[in-house]
Amino acid sequence: MSEHGGNIIEVAQQYGLPAKELIDFSANINPLGAPERVNALIKNNLSCIEKYPDVEYRHLHQAIAKAHQCNCTSVMAGNGATELIYAVARYLKPKRALLLIPGFAEYRRALQQVGAEIIDYPLTEDTGFQPDLHLLDTLSNIRPDCVFIATPNNPTGLMPDRQFMQVLVEYCEAQGISLIIDEAFIDFLPNNRGVIPQFIAAQHLYVLRSLTKFFAIPGLRLGYLISGNTAGITEMKKQREPWSINAFAALIGEILLDDHTYIAATHQWLRSQQHYLWTHLSAFPELTVWPPSANFLFFRCNKPDIDLWHSLLKHRLLIRHCQNYAGLDKRYYRIAVRSERENQRLIAAMQQVFAHG
């Protein structure tokens, strides 16, 4: 079984279900679909197939740098944020790394590939699954070479407060600890621009961004990395395999960050549908739900006799169980916020499951 959500084909095959009929609440992709301009741009540029993309991705890097008001030398685009997680790990070659758990699985795989000793830092329910100043004590005791943190975190959907993030960046900067902040979902938060504006010059900070979720292009794949360590960015560009971003992804990356109509429509959809799911899920006495910040919700089912994943699959709804996340178990689940109709269908199915088992 894949470690990630979105494995519709695998589940459909395993359970003998038609993949087309499954509604995928397990991958956190914007249900508005790719912006219209993406389809038009691809149709009008089909001849890209016949040429190698610019191996330096100059126009793409310029567009990203413009959006973040920084220099191109601070930017490296990648084939999704995933490629860049591996690129950073390969560049840093940490001897010892700290991972906050539960968290995204690829940090661990990337660190294992470079032979790092990995120390887990559990985020627990007592502290609301949020990191706090205790993390700084741990950093000072353990002295890792690097630490990964996702803001908001996956799968909990929780966003640490700004002040904490500022203290963390300043601490790591002062101590020379490489801090990788994964902001793959931050575009879904309308009033949070993350740490880039304040810390664009920081030498030990690496900020990851993904365009695949917000702009609904997981099949095209695009992400980027921003760091004030421009020598490090140059080195990572040298180390990478050439042409890892396909020509279409590179082309649309030049226009996505400027698509303010799509960005506003997404925030409007999310405001209403995140609220809908939050209020309806929280109303189930069988569930404990954590307040969402992005386009997914995290909850625990407190009825041990109910296997929500299998029960909802019978309704053709695929949700993400979280039992393979370090630090969690089979009581925990994550669901994506989808369209109004689909979200209503999920809530109706859950009402049936809780009423009849």
Ligand X SMILES: Cc1ncc(COP(=O)(O)O)c(C=O)c1O
Task: Please identify, among the stretches 79-87, 133-141, 294-302, 330-338, the one whose residues bind ligand X according to the rule CB under 6 A.
Answer: 79-87
CB of 105 to ligand X, least distance (A): 9
| C-alpha span between 244 and 222 (Å, rounded) | 10
CB of 337 to ligand X, least distance (A): 15
**Torsion sign across C-alpha atoms 140, 143, 144, 146:** positive
The token duo for 143 is 């002295």
Residues 199-218 binding ligand X (CB under 6 A) are: 210, 212, 218
Q: Does 82 bind ligand X (CB under 6 A)?
A: yes
Residues 318-347 binding ligand X (CB under 6 A) are: none
- Helices (H) and strands (E) in the chain — how many of each? 13, 13
In one-letter notation, the amino acid at residue 64 is I
Q: State which residue, 154 or 293, has the beta carbon closest to ligand X.
A: 154
Three-point CA angle 244, 246, 250, nearest 5°: 105
Task: Please identify, among the stretches 66-74, 78-86, 160-168, 232-240, the one whose residues bind ligand X according to the rule CB under 6 A.
Answer: 78-86
Q: Does 184 bind ligand X (CB under 6 A)?
A: yes
By the 8 A CB rule, do 190 and 163 touch? no
Q: Does 60 bind ligand X (CB under 6 A)?
A: no
**In the Cβ-directed half-sphere of 225, how many Cα atoms lie within 13 Å?**
29
Please give the torsion angle defined by the CA atoms of residues 167, 169, 175 and 181, in that order, rounded to the nearest 10 degrees. Answer: 140
Residues 154-183 binding ligand X (CB under 6 A) are: 154, 182
The widest CA-to-CA distance across the chain, in whole angstroms, is 60
Q: Does 25 bind ligand X (CB under 6 A)?
A: no
| C-alpha span between 96 and 89 (Å, rounded) | 11
CA distances from residue 318 to 14, 32, 159, 329 in whole angstroms, order as listed? 13, 19, 25, 18
Q: Does 80 bind ligand X (CB under 6 A)?
A: yes
CB of 263 to ligand X, least distance (A): 17
Q: Does 227 bind ligand X (CB under 6 A)?
A: no
CB of 4 to ligand X, least distance (A): 6
By the 8 A CB rule, do 262 and 215 touch? yes
CB of 158 to ligand X, least distance (A): 12
Task: Please identify, among the stretches 32-40, 76-84, 253-261, 269-277, the one whose residues bind ligand X according to the rule CB under 6 A.
Answer: 76-84
Residues 6+ apart with CB under 8 A from 282: 289
Q: State which residue, 27 or 200, has the beta carbon closest to ligand X.
A: 27
The token duo for 108 is 């661990």
Q: Is 133 in a helix, a strand, or coil? A: coil
CB of 164 to ligand X, least distance (A): 18
**Torsion sign across C-alpha atoms 343, 344, 349, 354:** positive
Task: Please identify, among the stretches 16-24, 75-83, 191-199, 296-304, the one whose residues bind ligand X according to the rule CB under 6 A.
Answer: 75-83
Q: Does 292 bind ligand X (CB under 6 A)?
A: no
Instruction: Report DSSP state, residue 125.
Output: G
Q: State which residue, 53 or 155, has the beta carbon closest to ligand X.
A: 155
Q: Does 223 bind ligand X (CB under 6 A)?
A: yes
Q: Does 104 bind ligand X (CB under 6 A)?
A: yes
Q: Does 295 bind ligand X (CB under 6 A)?
A: no
**In the Cβ-directed half-sphere of 81, how many Cα atoms lie within 13 Å?**
22
Strands in 320-321's sheet, in edge-to-edge order, are: 287-290, 296-301, 332-336, 320-321
Which residue among 34, 64, 77, 81 contacts ligand X (CB under 6 A)? 81
CB of 304 to ligand X, least distance (A): 28
Q: State which residue, 72 or 186, has the beta carbon closest to ligand X.
A: 186
CB of 354 to ligand X, least distance (A): 28
CB of 114 to ligand X, least distance (A): 18
Give the residue from 347, 190, 168 showing the smallest Cα distance to 268.
190
Instruction: Provide the binding-site residues for ligand X, judged by CB under 6 A.
Output: 80-82, 104, 150, 154, 182, 184, 210, 212, 218, 223
